[in-house]
Amino acid sequence: MRQITYEPMNAKSVLNAVKAPSMPFDWSINPYRGCQHGCSFCYARSTHVYLGEAADDNFQRHIFWKEDAPSILRAQLKRMARRLPRYVVIGTATDPYQQLEARTRLTRGCLEVLAEFGVAASITTRSPLVLRDLDLLSRMPGSSVNLSIHSLDAGIWRTFEPSSPSPRQRIDCARRLREAGIPTVVFMAPILPYLTDTSELTEELIAACVQAGVRELMPSFLRLSTPEVKNWFFSVLRTAYPHLADKYGRLYWHSSRLPDHYTRPVKARIAEQMARHGLARSDGGNGAARAPAAVRPDAAPGCASAPEPVQLTLF
pLDDT digits (tens, 9 = 90+) for 216-242: 899 999 999 889 899 999 999 999 999
CATH homologous superfamily for the domain 5-305? Aldolase class I (3.20.20.70)
Cα of 104 vs its chain's centroid, Å: 20
- CA dist list (Å): 299 to 6, 42, 63, 93, 314: 25, 11, 20, 8, 23
Least Cα distance to 310 among 278, 281, 285 occurs for: 281
Q: What band does 24 get if pLDDT is binned at 50, 70 and 90?
A: confident
Q: Are 144 and 185 in contact (CB under 8 A)?
A: yes
Q: What is the pLDDT of residue 314?
A: 35
Q: Are 89 and 27 in contact (CB under 8 A)?
A: yes
Summarised one tens digit per residue, pLDDT across range 152-164 is 999 999 999 999 9
Give residue limits of the domains in the chain. 5-305
Q: Are 223 and 43 in contact (CB under 8 A)?
A: yes
Q: What band does 57 get if pLDDT is binned at 50, 70 and 90?
A: confident
Summarised one tens digit per residue, pLDDT across range 196-221 is 999 999 999 999 999 999 988 999 99
Please classify residue 311 by burial: count the beta carbons closer than 10 Å to its beta carbon, then call 0-12 exposed, 13-18 middle and 19+ buried.
Answer: buried
188 by DSSP, 3-state: which? strand
Q: What is the pLDDT of residue 54?
A: 65
